[in-house]
Structure 1
Amino acid sequence: MIHTRSLLLLLVVFTLMPTSLLAKKKPNVIIFFADDISARELPIYGSSVWSKPPQGGNTSDPQYRASTPVLDKMATQGVVIKDAWSATICMPARAMMMSGRYAHLHKWWHNKDKGKYTNESGKKESVPVYISSPHTIAHVAKAGGYASIWAGKTQMGGVNQFGFDEGVFTPGGQTQRECLKNKYTDFKIVQKKVNGKRVLINEDTGDEVNYYQQFGWYWKPHVQLMNHPDSKTKFEWWPNTPKSQKEYGLHTYGPDVELDFVFDFMDRKHKQEEPFFVYHTTHLGHDGWDFFSRDINKETRNKWPATPKVKWENNKYTRTHPKITGDNGDYNTHGTISEPGIHSHINYIDYQVWLYMQKLEEMGEDNNTVFIFCADNGTSGYGKNSPAVQKGVHVPMIIYAPCLDMTKEGMQDIVANTADIYSTVAEVMGVQIPDSYEVNGVSLIPYLTTNKKEHRQWVYSYHQDKQLIRGKYVLIDGVGRTYDVTAQPDDLISYPQITDWSKVSENHMNENKKLQKILPRFNVHDTEHGEPKGGFKDVKPLSSNN
């Protein structure tokens, strides 16, 4: 029974609460996290240079320029961040997005440089992010009352430990042993012993290749489901039904399969009136073995395999249904797929973003969804794995959110970090991160929805034991050089190096001193590389503000 005084208190609370908050339901959240795409690859950033096929590098040739009418429109109606940073390579970047923290906390310094911890069996092993940083972005969603799905590439083992309700994964997290059990596709680059020597073999052709172990994530893909309601086990290889097995083949494109399962998830949650969180970590942008080409020459083979053909016309996309025939490395694509190149990958991303927008409109959720597009690190062959200037860390970031009543629009001349997305999502979902739990991301909501003119004073990143940091005037890169960043160069990277401090402003000198004082806080690669003394701390549960 509610006492009169308690009832009056509740009435006062609801009376004081803005009517807009009472009326609005929780917004859905979609993060489209692309792979190995520098900001310069998107036309909206206005770079005079971008990447060229087949092996990357620089070009200004318009034929290799991506076309992104949908992302362009979202960037002008929403916001695009001029200088968004991530990490220089996949795993640390994904750890930062998943945790909202830098490497001094999550301990993933580089793909092959992770801190160690003592597991439950008493053995030393690489520390998983869900151990070093147990409040993952999926746990934030769960605390906020959201259903969640993780789709695409993971680059993280133990995917069922991160807190997602469902998953649809293409290679990047599964072990070789798991992928070898997949009977549906022979698009595999695997280790074998030939004449006493370990070599890599393309199972489709039997050719020895100079590459790295890989399981196809684009055409005729490996696809694994997690916790799908129609599956009989927690993890199940797809195709998993007579219909899907009959339809599966050379024309099956991994990014399409991911999106089909994401849309199925969205439909189910919409019908159940549950807000949903989609964490879509596509492979698009990442180079991969082109199983349709038998060219094994490292200098000439296609770095970015072709996608299905798409065309933008009359404010909509059309997609050519792929027709591919052949086997054992001898294939005919019948002119139904694009030319290879990262520009084709970005065009296909734009097509998929258009499909997202169409789906949300069909569901009536187009004005009740926060959509964030970004990437994990710079482009392969240009910025990926580079600590120089900001080549490896400068990524696109677009936020489209009609439900937020944003006060900003278009290109924003600010610095931001992919760790900020974690904090932004937490605020959107109404989830309180305990003060005792260090988070390095800063929510973008105050900047996006008020008259606030600055989001961050500085932005930070890392590359193994190297650190990068920049503010409004100065950038310090991972190889110890300092640059004047007050004016953006045409190619987004050729900032003038500061070698004579007597020739720069007092603002430059003051900011440099400030940035230099910040770096030691995170510079613990050599001293606190792995598990802290006493182990990782227990953390308080997340709580909802709603």
Structure 2
Amino acid sequence: MKTHSIEIRKYNVLLSMLASCCLCASAMSAESRPNILLILADDVGREVLECYGGSSYETPNLNQLAASGAMLEHCYAMPVCHPTRVTLMTGQYPRHLGNPKWGSFPKHAESRTFANVAKNAGYATAVAGKWQLCLMKDDTGQPRRMGFDEWSLFGWHEGPRYHEPMIYENGVLRTDTAGKYGPDLYIDFLVDFMRRNHERNKPFLAYYSMALCHDVTNDLKAPVPHGPRGRYDNHAEMVEQMDLQVGRLMRFLKSSGLDDNTLILFTADNGTAAKSKLSAKGKRNEFVYEKVVSQFKGQSVPGGKGRLTDWGTRVPTLAVWKGVITPGQSWNDLVDFSDLLPTLADLLGGALPADAKLDGHSFAALLRGEGHSTRGWAYAEHRGRFFVKTQDRKLYSTGEFYNTEADPFEKSPLEPTALSTEATSDWNLLKQAVKDLQTTNAPIAQ
């Protein structure tokens, strides 16, 4: 009997130890989940950043960001902003959401955004800057339904985004922006959000949807105010401001100690615009423009926004995660914007939307240094036409086939009957993908 009692006590001690180990493992797992700072620049192609090979603009803070982590060489967005944001939010291509109208978002997908994934995983969430998924005056609560606890967003196609901006903050129109610069206010808002949640040990997802480097809106009854130069900032000046704003965020993370466990992702919604507004003459749509041409690895590159070329869709993407991502890396894995939602679900321990059929593939293993992206081809669409591509080769839905590494301006289509073995393999893969996409309205297995 005594022996039996001793064995029971030993068994109970063992159970207690196992339970304690499980609790410790659970706590460690929760603590190891990173904060997320997602920065989405507007109208910024790879040729703009020095770290990618651009030489027209100085981008020291972005260069430092790249040196602190990894550069993704093959990340693809849609060639214009609204479909990119729909894809980013949902993990689905616009074609699989009924091609939402410009400036709208499908009601049935509002609960399935990456912000709701983060919120359901216990994260505080905030967004600042550009929204573009509704007119804020018509639906001031949309960001909350889509998973954001807090938001500070300019009235897209309602008022200014830069000087004396029109900002809706948590559903209320601000009345104190006279004489102020929008990007400064968006940064102030996000810094305050991150600081408050850091102080209460709450993990956070902060989404900085930059206004920069998109020029001012052109469809209001009266043009928006010029800046202190007596005109709008030109493209080079907006690039400088973009880099400065990124620097402000990086300095805050470092000074607060948040850089120790914050995953920073910087990317852009599409390529650089081909022209930018410099000034308004006082009447609607009477603007002075500049052409935007950038130097990139010895080539002159006109802005590619609105085109399905790599200059319109292949966007700069930087990832920094101190102690996890080895600094100074360059990754050739394929990624497109549908991949962010499943990646965040992996990283944050969040559940994927149960009723969503995602086009995205998680690249969390790549970020953790445990593997690679499983994506076989990247995708982008525009005005009823689309492409699928590997790192080097691209096939359009209309049949044109290019080697984008050797022919980045897509001047000389490849002849499918005269391909190398490797090119033939890509041709067959992409041809099947195009066929599948044209015959089904569901995500395609890769």
Aligned-partner Cα distance in 1 for 2:414–2:34: 49
Residue 178 of structure 1 is matched in structure 2 by none
1:163 and 2:163 are equivalent in the alignment: no
Does the 8 A contact of 2:70 with 2:326 survive in 1?
Answer: no
| 1:462–1:261 Cα change, 3 Å | same
Task: State the 1:417 CA deviation.
Answer: 1.0
Please point out which of 349, 354, 357 is paired with 1:438.
Answer: 357
- Runs of 5+ unmatched residues, structure 1: 48-61, 113-125, 173-212, 227-234, 240-244, 297-304, 306-328, 533-546
Taking structure 1 as the reference length, what is the TM-score of the superposition? Answer: 0.65
Q: How many residues are treated as equivalent by the alignment?
A: 394
Which aligned pairs between 1:73-222 and structure 2 lie closer than 5 A? 73-108=64-99, 111=102, 128-132=105-109, 134-157=111-134, 158-172=142-156, 215-222=159-166
Residue 334 of structure 2 is matched in structure 1 by 415
1:13 and 2:22 are equivalent in the alignment: yes
Task: State the 1:520 CA deviation.
Answer: 3.7
Please tell me the residue identity of whatever aligns with 1:259: I
Does the 8 A contact of 1:151 with 1:280 survive in 2?
Answer: yes
Give the secondary structure class of the aligned counterpart of 2:33.
Answer: coil
Does the 8 A contact of 2:110 with 2:145 survive in 1?
Answer: no
| 1:22–1:453 Cα change, 3 Å | closer
Please tell me the residue identity of whatever aligns with 1:162: M
Task: State the 1:140 CA deviation.
Answer: 0.9
Please tell me the residue identity of whatever aligns with 1:249: A
Aligned-partner Cα distance in 1 for 2:212–2:403: 33
Q: Which has the higher helix share?
A: 2
Residue 503 of structure 1 is matched in structure 2 by 418
Task: State the 1:364 CA deviation.
Answer: 1.4
Aligned-partner Cα distance in 1 for 2:62–2:95: 34
Please point out which of 234, 249, 254 is paired with 1:356.
Answer: 249
Aligned-partner Cα distance in 1 for 2:216–2:232: 14
Residue 225 of structure 1 is matched in structure 2 by 169
Task: State the 1:22 CA deviation.
Answer: 5.2
Aligned-partner Cα distance in 1 for 2:31–2:412: 50
Please tell me the residue identity of whatever aligns with 1:98: M
1:399 and 2:327 are equivalent in the alignment: no
Deviations 1:42-86 (A, max 9, x none): 122215xxxxxxxxxxxxxx6xx2211111121122111112101
Does the 8 A contact of 2:43 with 2:268 survive in 1?
Answer: yes
Please tell me the residue identity of whatever aligns with 2:371: K
Give the secondary structure class of the aligned counterpart of 2:112.
Answer: coil
Aligned-partner Cα distance in 1 for 2:110–2:26: 35
Aligned-partner Cα distance in 2 for 1:474–1:289: 36
Does the 8 A contact of 1:141 with 1:426 survive in 2?
Answer: yes
Aligned-partner Cα distance in 2 for 1:452–1:488: 28
Aligned-partner Cα distance in 1 for 2:341–2:251: 26
Please tell me the residue identity of whatever aligns with 2:183: P
Aligned-partner Cα distance in 2 for 1:359–1:270: 12
| 1:435–1:162 Cα change, 3 Å | closer
Does the 8 A contact of 2:68 with 2:327 survive in 1?
Answer: no
| 1:237–1:484 Cα change, 3 Å | same
Does the 8 A contact of 1:86 with 1:376 survive in 2?
Answer: yes
Taking structure 2 as the reference length, what is the TM-score of the superposition? Answer: 0.79
Which aligned pairs between 1:330-341 and structure 2 lie closer than 5 A? 333=228, 340-341=233-234
Does the 8 A contact of 1:140 with 1:426 survive in 2?
Answer: yes
Please point out which of 276, 279, 298 is paired with 2:204.
Answer: 276
Residue 292 of structure 2 is matched in structure 1 by none
Please tell me the residue identity of whatever aligns with 2:196: R
Aligned-partner Cα distance in 2 for 1:444–1:273: 27
1:34 and 2:34 are equivalent in the alignment: no
Moved more, 513-522 or 261-270: 513-522
Task: State the 1:262 CA deviation.
Answer: 1.1
Please point out which of 184, 202, 216 is paired with 1:256.
Answer: 184
Percent of counterpart pairs with the same letter? 24
Task: State the 1:344 CA deviation.
Answer: 1.8
* Structure 1 segments (4+ residues) deviating >4 Å: 3-9
Aligned-partner Cα distance in 2 for 1:471–1:145: 36
| 1:476–1:217 Cα change, 3 Å | same
Does the 8 A contact of 2:60 with 2:243 survive in 1?
Answer: yes
Deviations 1:460-482 (A, max 9, x none): 11113211111134211365321
- Runs of 5+ unmatched residues, structure 2: 1-10, 135-141, 275-302
CA RMSD of aligned residues (A): 3.2
Residue 474 of structure 1 is matched in structure 2 by 393
| 1:358–1:220 Cα change, 3 Å | same
